[in-house]
Amino acid sequence: MAITNIEILFEPAKIDTLLQLAIEEDIFTGDITTKTLIPDNLMVEGVFLAKENGVVAGLPVIEYFFSKLDKNLFF
């Protein structure tokens, strides 16, 4: 049975709290792995490739999360 027209609800305040916690984790020392391996000016592009049919959950949350990190990102 196919499900259509699903409304996805999430609470932006909770996403904002999670984002803030993630940033605070590295605020004093920075993320040493990122600083060591990834140049500051690196630009990347990603692709999700599904090898089989399935369900991807949480895309609106991911889009919101990344839009808060960097206004120049698009999803």
Confirm whether 3 is domain-assigned.
no
pLDDT of residue 1: 52
Q: What is the mean pLDDT of the chain?
A: 79
DSSP output for 26-62: TTTT--HHHHHHS-TT---------SS------HHHH
Q: How many domains does the chain have?
A: 1
The answer as to whether 1 is a domain residue is: no
Instruction: Examine residue 27 and state whether it is found in any structural domain, yes or no.
Output: yes
Q: Is the pLDDT of residue 59 over 80?
A: yes
Query: Which structural domain range is residue 24 located in?
Result: 12-69
pTM reported for the whole predicted model? 0.51
